[in-house]
Structure 1
């Protein structure tokens, strides 16, 4: 079947076969056979297998761990950016388990925030059902940083602002930017530098006052982002 495919289309035939196998008996996070084993199974060269796997990765069916191999992706999390609800609650409503880990990182090595007069607060790794899906860099205005010393930084930012600072978020500005992982992010995702990642920057305000900046880096295959808009004539 693979050998009969037109030149340049072999990887698509292989990708369809792997996708069918995943649909039939590939529970989430199952490790796929090695590239060498797949090449032997389909009677082709490893570059053709790699092309097929990268195609499936682009469709969100599998993901790669550096030095470990390819794995079946869990279902995507439906992430409605209009909901003023903590991510943990969004996950719970979809029968998913979210775990948040605050990482010990040197603040001096973190990229500066695009908003002026802010300071780095924390780096967080968030996992769904055991898979790392999100890395977050949190920034706060300079005047807030000291007030949060010793606070539980695994909390949602909205709860943290309300409970620790008495600040209520009234609106936020969102910027979505598909990009590639830098070496630092790739290490935290157990991926390779340049792997696609979805950056979502949340700049939060209370009235006209900046209160926090949350830069989220999502594994694209892990999330389905939705947003409602209201049209107004200008």
Structure 2
């Protein structure tokens, strides 16, 4: 590729960044054809400029719907902390909406395929909000034997703090499994983004200091709102 062609799509990306700065998050962004006509350049150049914006997390694409303005990303470091702690570290107050909280048994028909209920457990579904925006849809399972009477607690507060201070079950380590996914209609409605939006599915098993698992959870987070930062060493 010629140097002038490279400079051209970088310059165009800068112009588009200025345009994006005036638009609210999740606003539709013009497609390749409209931008090519507006800037009088080829769709190849437009496509390259849009790819730069997507790599930088400034736009995101929903298959069949087009491109949209991405909200600022949250940076998640690979350090064990609750959602409440994550948001506090970033200067946001975390708000929790409790969607459901029930006691389930091994014989119950549990639809969360990642979990196997081998003894009575609490199933807690919550929507986590920060900066007036829903960022995470979470389902958490905690065995009744580890936290008897948990449903009487205020489950809009940090579960990690309740487990630590009320039940002596401090979660000191966890295994996580991250999987890309797209949101279905119910999930996208709760997270207030278009159906088919890219998301991250995070399965976590949290352990106490004795290595016993205390919680198993599934969090669905908007893919356009999170970066994951970690170090790799030999």
Give the alignment's Cα RMSD to 1 decimal: 4.3
1:187 aligned counterpart, secondary structure: helix
Paired with 2:83 and 2:160, the residues of 1 have a C-alpha distance of 10
Contact in 2 for aligned 1:26/1:72 (Cα 8 Å): no
Q: What corresponds to 1:170 in structure 2?
A: 172
Summarize deviations over 1:66-114 as a string: whole Å, max 9, x none: x9x944512x2221122x4333233223223332221248987852443
Paired with 1:80 and 1:21, the residues of 2 have a C-alpha distance of 30
1:149 CA drift (Å) = 1.2
1:39–1:190 CA distance, 2 compared to 1 (3 A)? farther
1:202 CA drift (Å) = 1.4
Give the gaps of 5 or more residues in structure 2.
Answer: none
Q: What corresponds to 1:21 in structure 2?
A: 19
Residue 99 (1) aligns with residue 95 (2): yes
Summarize deviations over 1:2-41 as a string: whole Å, max 9, x none: xxx9xxxxx999876433322xx43763845787x98996
Contact in 1 for aligned 2:176/2:204 (Cα 8 Å): yes
1:43 CA drift (Å) = 8.8
1:162 CA drift (Å) = 1.0
Paired with 2:50 and 2:101, the residues of 1 have a C-alpha distance of 33
Paired with 2:37 and 2:110, the residues of 1 have a C-alpha distance of 44
Contact in 2 for aligned 1:113/1:120 (Cα 8 Å): no
Q: What corresponds to 2:220 in structure 1?
A: 217
> After the TM superposition, which residues 107-126 of structure 1 pair with which residues of structure 2 at under 5 Å, given as runs?
110-117=111-118, 119=121, 121-126=123-128
Paired with 1:109 and 1:190, the residues of 2 have a C-alpha distance of 26
Q: What corresponds to 1:201 in structure 2?
A: 203
Paired with 1:215 and 1:140, the residues of 2 have a C-alpha distance of 12
Give the gaps of 5 or more residues in structure 1.
Answer: 6-10
Between Structure 1 and Structure 2, how many residues are aligned?
220
1:184 CA drift (Å) = 2.6
Q: What corresponds to 1:60 in structure 2?
A: 57
Pick one of 46, 52, 71 that aligns with 1:73: 71
**TM-score normalised to structure 2 length:** 0.68
1:17–1:32 CA distance, 2 compared to 1 (3 A)? farther
1:154 aligned counterpart, secondary structure: coil
